[in-house]
A and B are shown apart, each in its own frame.
Chain A
Amino acid sequence: MNIYFVLPLFVILSFIFFIFYRQQKRLAHYSGISTLSQIKKTLTSQRFWLVILGFVLTIGFWYAAVYWLPFDAFHRLPGPDEVVIEWLSRDPYYGISIYTKEYYVHILYSTYRATVSFLLATILGVPFGLLMGWSRRFYEYSFPLVEMIRPIPPLAWVPLSILMLPGVEPAVIFVTFLVAFFVTTLNTLLGVQSIDQAYFRAALCLGASSKEILYDVVIPGSLPYIFTGLQISMGAAWFSLVAGEMIAAQYGLGYLIWQGYSLVKYPTIIIGMVTLGFIGYGSSAVIRYVGKRLMAWREQELGGLGVTYEE
Chain B
Amino acid sequence: MRCEKSGRIEVSNLCKRFHKAGKDPLQVLQNCTLTIEPGKLNVLIGPSGCGKSTLANILAGYDSPDSGEITIDGSPLKGPGTDRLMVFQETALWPWMTVMENVIFGPTVRGEMSKKEAREEATRILELVGLQDFKDKYPAQLSGGMQRRAELARALINRPKVMIMDEPFRGLDDLTRELMQEYYLKIFEKTNCTTLFITTELEEAIFLADRILIMTFLPGRIKTIIDVDLPRPRNYHVLTSKKYLQIKAEALEYLIEEGRKCFGEDCNIANTMVDEFRRQADNRH
CB within 8 Å of B: which residues of A?
Answer: 196, 198-199, 201-209, 212, 216-217, 220-221, 223, 295-298, 300-301, 303, 306-311
Contact = CB atoms under 8 A, between A and B. Distances in A.
Given A296-B138, A297-B138, A310-B143, A207 B96 contact: no
B95 interface: yes
Contacts of B158: 206
Nearest to A307: B141
Nearest to A310: B143
Contacts of B61: 205
B134 interface: yes
A223 B96 contact: yes
Among B95, B110, B142, B179, which residue has the most Cβ atoms of chain A within 10 A? B95
B143 A308 contact: yes
Nearest to A212: B109
Interface stretch (B80-88, B261-269, B275-283): B80-88
B140 interface: yes
B96 A201 contact: no
B137 interface: yes
A301 B95 contact: yes
A311 B92 contact: no
A106 to B, nearest CB: 41
A207 B110 contact: yes
Among A201, A202, A204, A308, which residue has the most Cβ atoms of chain B within 10 A? A202
By secondary structure, the A interface counts as helix
B283 to A, nearest CB: 37
Contacts of B142: 308-309
A197 B250 CA distance: 39
B238 interface: no
Contacts of A301: 95, 138, 140
B124 to A, nearest CB: 18
Contact of B105 (A206, A300, A306): A206
B203 interface: no
**Range class of the B interface residue count:** 20 to 34
Nearest to B134: A309
Given A205-B86, A207-B82, A297 B140 contact: yes
B62 interface: yes
B96 A206 contact: no
10 contacts: A199-B92, A205-B62, A205-B82, A205-B85, A297-B138, A306-B138, A308-B141, A308-B142, A309-B142, A309-B143
A301 B97 CA distance: 12
B143 A300 contact: no
B176 A202 contact: no
Nearest to A206: B106
A196 B96 CA distance: 13
Contact of B94 (A207, A220, A298, A303): A220
Given A208-B105, A209-B109, A309-B143, A198 B138 contact: no
A300 B82 contact: no
Contacts of A207: 82, 106, 109-110
A208 B94 contact: no
Nearest to A207: B110
A296 B136 CA distance: 12
Top-10 shortest CB links A-B:
A198-B92, A206-B106, A220-B96, A301-B140, A207-B110, A202-B92, A297-B138, A300-B140, A208-B109, A300-B138
A311 B94 contact: no
Among B90, B105, B158, B176, which residue has the most Cβ atoms of chain A within 10 A? B105
Given A198-B88, A301-B95, A205 B80 contact: yes
Given A205-B60, A206-B105, A306 B96 contact: no
Contact of A196 (B80, B92, B106): B92
A204 B79 CA distance: 11
A309 B145 CA distance: 11
A220 B139 CA distance: 15
B90 A198 contact: yes
Nearest to A196: B92
B146 interface: yes
Contacts of A209: 109
Given A208-B109, A212-B109, A202 B141 contact: no
Contacts of A307: 141
Nearest to A211: B109
Interface string B98-115: 100000011001100000
Contacts of A296: 138
